[in-house]
Amino acid sequence: MTFGDWYDAGADLGIDTDNLPTKIEDRYYDKNGNLARVTEGTFMLGDSETTRVEVEKFGDIKLDTYRSYLYDQNNRLTHVTERKYKALNGWYYSWAASDTIQTYTYNEEGKMSGQSNQNYRFEYIWEGNHIAIEKKYNKYSGKISSTTHYSNFVDDERNLAQKVVEVSSYSKYYIENEYNEKGQLTKTTYYELAEPVTNEQGEIIDGTKGNPTKQIERTYDGEREVLTVTSNWNKKTEAFAQVSKKEVKLNEVRGGYETTNYSYSNGEWFKNGSTKVTVDAQYDTTTPVANISVEPCGPRANSVEVKFKVPQGAENIKKWNVYRNGSLLGEANLDQGSYTFEDKEVLNGTYDYYVLADTIGSKGEKFISNIVSQEYNTPLDTVSNIRIVESGKKTVGSITKPQTVYVYSLAWDAPKTSNTILGYNVYLNPSPYAKNPSPYNEQLITNPYVELELKDPDKLENIIQVEIVYRIGFAKTSKQVIKLDKNNNINENKITKVSKIVTFGDAMGGTAQTQATKEDVSYYDANNNVVMKVTNSYLYDDDPNTPEVEKPGDLVPTTYTVYDYDSQNRLVGERSRKYGFYSGYDQAWAEDFKQEASYAYDETTGKLIEMNDGSKIYRYEWEGDNIVKETVSVAGSDKALYTVAYSNFAASGKNLPQYGFSLSTDPSSDYNNIISEYEYDAQGRKTAQRNYKFGNNIERDENGVIIKADKGTPINEQLWIYEKDHLKTYLKNNWSSKNQELAPNTKKEYTVVSGGLREESYSYMNYGQYKGWTKNATYTETQNALLYGKTAPTDLKVTEVEGKVNGIRLEAKAPAKTYGEPVTYDVYKNGKKVGEATPDGAGNLTYEEEEVMNGTWHYFIKPSTPFGSIDVQTTNVVEKVFNTELLPAQNIAFPVNGINENGDYVLKVTWEAPQTDLKIKGYNIFTDIKSWTKNPTPVNGIEILPIDSTAYLFEWPKTTKKEKTVCVEVVYNIGKVKSENLPVSLQSIPVGIMTTETSQQLTFAGNRVYINGNYEQLDVFALNGAHLVQHTGTKEVDLGHLPVGVYVIKLKTAQGIESLKIVKK
């Protein structure tokens, strides 16, 4: 095990790697004592999403090398093979194929005659028991790289040369070796080779000692080398000077020998960054785990079951670990006397399995199994039908610096396969020399389409490859040539991105946290400008006055916002339209848009100088690319509330102040007197903001205005912690005057989930015994979808339909190519789906709607299949305004105005229907509408008066004020119109109206009313005042069509008005 790291990278991350294993090497020996297997693993100093399941988190040991040693029948090492775990398929790590890194050959006498590695080949020439000559060849050029001659051996039996002459093309050395009695090398001294001696071929074969250059001294403790010191020759002192050493000593804590390297500089030894500890563990190989087997299992490919029984003496061991290529897979399970372990969906390749006891046996021994090799070679299908959906130019970049880029929109068909597909990689113009070219995409593509941006717009023909990333391997297509259409503008009048923020749960806990209770859907154009946003909210109860919603739990539209841009593509305004109670008891869109925010820019520089959000106005002063002063005022007032001066700007980006000085313009208030300090990371993202009150050291100008102050008591602290390209944690700490410290207040945690980013908020509780973070009831998920290719209809147009009231016709062109086969296209109005466009089979789409409510409406169309999600394009957005004239009620009068027998006021209002061809649904009656009331409530309640109503009867107690106003509203299919507020003064004249249970002239029986004597008019009213029936001259009136309930019958005669209350059953 290696502890620490050479470059001290752990210290940069705040990790003590000196006491943390950063590299582990496991060596396994066979029963003959031969090295059989070596595995090497490296500590992960960072999280890695591309190392698949082998590495789960920061700090794990990532196995990266698996080495096998092969021996012949004479127990001689012949081959060393190695497999590396590295990036072999784009960004994804996997095991490379086995590669022979070392081979050994032997002569007839059994002596090693040569060996080779990946770069060099060595040839050995023996004389008796000694290697006399070693030749080193470059495997690529075939030429000799160096020749070494050995002589002056210690004795005839041992291959211990005391004199070595080493000659290469760049160096020539005379080397002296010294040995102890055991034959251990104790000292090696290097000299320059002088007076070289050559053979007939001109090869240097000998020489004499020249100037010394280097010396290596070794000290032993038994068989173990415990100290190695390297010295270089110092020409000034004419002596050897120590430069490095390696110490090996017993580490009793870790149970092995540790090796530490040092460097010598300026009279001191400095430890290098790592310490290696070797721990030997003895395994009993005479009683291996009996015959482990590896057999296919389950429905998935490349899935096996490792099965075995334990040997005698190991029955008490309950934990057996299963390894694949030296990497721990997990613990085997006991099943009917045998242990089993399933390894599912393994990457294609050859692997070695073995089993190792986690604890020691009854006699102190450890148990390791035999090794079984398993090869996986499942055929994998590639994608098909790679096609260009569209190619051409596209405008991207910021509002002030738009850029034109050239792109391909590609799509392909996935194969029909039972193997798990994780995603896709796309390779654009891959280098023919790269063994592992990087894909165009930085993350796996999950859908069968992509948009590729070209770095070289002049290259009209490009090479493309698409690779499927299976769980068990990779399948890449052959190279294809695709052509660019530079003249096609692919994002004109098109929505190119959608962002959806979904809120789950509710603050009162009324719904489960898995229930979506709100969603904000924003649509962006090709310049990455948001052009509209739709807010939908959860419907808790059924509402008969919301026709767009059929049942509780649906998401109803609550706000529709549009964003306006000027000719220079700058945001100049935000307008929203609310959906709610804007028309009595009926929920509807507000009559028109409300200006929510406006923006103004400097005509010379184009920089933002004013923003009005409806409640406050923010004015900005610039110096270069930095805002140096901000003035905040109340909207509608020129008086400033406070100013903020910014300074000490960071170099990591534009407009990144590190100091803010906020000053209240009211000398009597210090509420906004705040000093702020800001911090940013290398990418210009804010990482900290700390706010302070003014301290005691305050400087003022000649007018008494504060111009400088020191930091006083902290107010709060905000921290932003990022992970890669997204925010990971937001934390706010508030100053506790009680404890005189910053205390936790709120925090937000952000995690990447399928399709987006989740935000979960917490509040810090500190009451009594309870102290800690409490998770809030709601959380949000932000989902962003880039919209690739030409998936939406184009050229959307809206026209009025002649002969139909407020009728419209939408017409668009269906896309020529799509991802799959969409069969329906959804039509949206103000962001809410209202229907489906109809294809005519010739590439045209139409949709008609009539009796659209008066107002301003925005329409667009998008495909509804095959995705059923937000990641499909929409058409351009078209606006249509309807303002059809609606006539009010006519001839409004008050024929009855007085007091009844109880002294209460009685007022009857009558009207005539307007002369119009438009459909009328009914009427609403209002009294005393105040000028400031935006949505008055009708006195007839939630039900409108029927279409045949022409009168309404009011009754007020005698304490009611006499001055009233009355308004009659006509409810059309396409809108509503109110009459004027007509004033009326209540009279105290008796009107002879009686409401009794019996009457001399009226009789009610069998759902019929019988009239005795002459009368002028008979009227039937509901208890809410709705006028339901009117007759003149008829002696018998049938009320069978009315619902069950209580009604009032009023009979007008020459003597007055007689009233009868009836109950219809």
Predicted local distance difference test score (pLDDT) of residue 158: 93
Backbone φ and ψ of 51, nearest 5°: -90, 20
pLDDT surpassing 90 at residue 1002: no
Buried residues in 59-88 as b, exposed as e (16+ CB within 10 A): ebbbbbbbbbbebeeeeebeebbbbbbeeb
Give the integer Cα–Cα distance in Å for 970 and 841: 43
Sequence-distant (≥ 6) Cβ neighbours of residue 519 within 8 angstroms: 500, 501, 502, 503, 535, 536, 555
Vertex 646 angle, CA 640 and 652, to 5°: 145
Q: How does residue 1064 score in pLDDT terms, banded at 50, 70 and 90?
A: confident
pLDDT surpassing 70 at residue 53: no
Mean pLDDT of the chain: 83
Structure tokens at 126: 């023996």
Which residue from 28, 25, 37 is spatially nearest to 366, judged by alpha carbons? 28
Which strands form 1036-1038's sheet, in the order they lie side by side? 1002-1005, 1008-1011, 1036-1038
Give the integer Cα–Cα distance in Å for 728 and 751: 7
Structure tokens at 173: 């050395």
Report the first-to-last Cα separation within the chain, whole angstroms: 94
| Top-confidence residue, 299 or 579 | 299
3-state secondary structure of 538: strand
Structure tokens at 750: 């952000």
- Residue 43 to residues 85, 254, 1059: CA-CA distances in angstroms? 14, 18, 95
Give the distance between the most distant pair of CA atoms in the chain.
155
Predicted local distance difference test score (pLDDT) of residue 963: 92
Q: How does residue 24 score in pLDDT terms, banded at 50, 70 and 90?
A: confident
Give the integer Cα–Cα distance in Å for 142 and 649: 61
Backbone φ and ψ of 916, nearest 5°: -150, 155
Q: How does residue 868 score in pLDDT terms, banded at 50, 70 and 90?
A: very low
Which residue from 433, 412, 435 is spatially nearest to 424, judged by alpha carbons? 412
Structure tokens at 693: 């009150």
Report yes or no: 797 and 811 within 8 Å, Cβ to Cβ. Answer: yes
State the number of CA atoms in the 13 A half-sphere of 750 facing the CB. 16
pTM, entire model: 0.48
Q: Give mean pLDDT, residues 283-292.
A: 63
| Top-confidence residue, 327 or 773 | 773
Which helix (H) or strand (E) covers residue 774, if one does? strand 770-786
Strand partners, 486: none
Q: How does residue 993 score in pLDDT terms, banded at 50, 70 and 90?
A: very low
Give the integer Cα–Cα distance in Å for 812 and 846: 7
pLDDT surpassing 50 at residue 922: yes
Which residue from 589, 578, 574, 490 is spatially nearest to 532, judged by alpha carbons? 574
Give the integer Cα–Cα distance in Å for 624 and 608: 12
Structure tokens at 896: 């009855």
Own/partner long-range contacts of 48-52 (Cβ < 8 Å, ≥24 apart): 48/93, 49/443, 50/87, 50/91, 50/92, 50/93, 51/93, 52/92, 52/93, 52/94
Q: How does residue 490 score in pLDDT terms, banded at 50, 70 and 90?
A: low
Give the integer Cα–Cα distance in Å for 888 and 979: 5
Number of continuous H segments (helices) and E segments (strands) in the chain: 1, 76
pLDDT surpassing 60 at residue 580: yes
- Residue 522 to residues 209, 566, 818: CA-CA distances in angstroms? 82, 20, 23
Structure tokens at 887: 């006539």
pLDDT in tens, 653-672: 789 999 999 999 988 888 89
pLDDT in tens, 348-385: 888 888 888 876 655 545 677 888 889 999 999 999 98
State which amino acid sits at residue 805.
Answer: V
Vertex 990 angle, CA 986 and 991, to 5°: 90
Vertex 992 angle, CA 989 and 996, to 5°: 140
pLDDT in tens, 823-857: 678 898 887 788 899 888 777 899 999 999 888 88
Predicted local distance difference test score (pLDDT) of residue 37: 83
CA quadruple 159, 163, 169, 171: dihedral sign: positive
Give the integer Cα–Cα distance in Å for 320 and 329: 11
Give the integer Cα–Cα distance in Å for 742 and 797: 59
DSSP code for 478: P
Give the integer Cα–Cα distance in Å for 554 and 928: 36
Predicted local distance difference test score (pLDDT) of residue 164: 96
Strand partners, 124: 134
Give the integer Cα–Cα distance in Å for 644 and 628: 8
Share of the chain above pLDDT 70, in %: 85
pLDDT in tens, 592-637: 778 889 999 998 888 999 999 988 999 999 999 999 999 999 988 8
Q: Give mean pLDDT, residues 158-172.
A: 93
pLDDT surpassing 80 at residue 3: no
pLDDT surpassing 50 at residue 552: yes
pLDDT surpassing 80 at residue 183: yes
State which amino acid sits at residue 497.
Answer: K
Sequence-distant (≥ 6) Cβ neighbours of residue 1038 within 8 angstroms: 1007, 1008
Buried residues in 272-310 as b, exposed as e (16+ CB within 10 A): ebbbbbeeeeebbbebbbeebebeeeeebbbbbebbbeb
| Top-confidence residue, 90 or 435 | 435
Phi-psi region at 941: left, alpha or beta (left = phi > 0; alpha = psi -120 to 50): left
Strand partners, 136: 122, 146
3-state secondary structure of 53: helix
Sequence-distant (≥ 6) Cβ neighbours of residue 581 within 8 angstroms: 587, 935
Give the integer Cα–Cα distance in Å for 244 and 260: 11
Give the integer Cα–Cα distance in Å for 290 and 268: 56
Q: How does residue 9 score in pLDDT terms, banded at 50, 70 and 90?
A: very low
Predicted local distance difference test score (pLDDT) of residue 1051: 85
pLDDT surpassing 70 at residue 13: no
Supply the DSSP string of 120-168, one letter for each residue.
Answer: EEEEEEEETTEEEEEEEEETTT--EEEEEEEEEESSSSS--EEEEEEEE
pLDDT surpassing 70 at residue 51: no
Which strands form 290-296's sheet, in the order they lie side by side? 290-296, 304-309, 338-343, 333-335
Give the integer Cα–Cα distance in Å for 254 and 265: 30
Structure tokens at 380: 């994998």
- Chain-centre distance for alpha carbon 411: 23
Report yes or no: 814 and 844 within 8 Å, Cβ to Cβ. Answer: yes
Report the relative pairing of strands 1045-1053 and 1056-1064 from DSSP bridges.
antiparallel
Sequence-distant (≥ 6) Cβ neighbours of residue 253 within 8 angstroms: none
Share of the chain above pLDDT 90, in %: 36
Q: Give mean pLDDT, residues 898-927.
A: 89
Domains with residue ranges and CATH for the chain: 1-93 (2.40.128), 283-376 (2.60.40.10), 384-483 (2.60.40.10), 787-882 (2.60.40.10), 890-985 (2.60.40.10), 1002-1064 (2.60.40.10)
pLDDT surpassing 60 at residue 462: yes
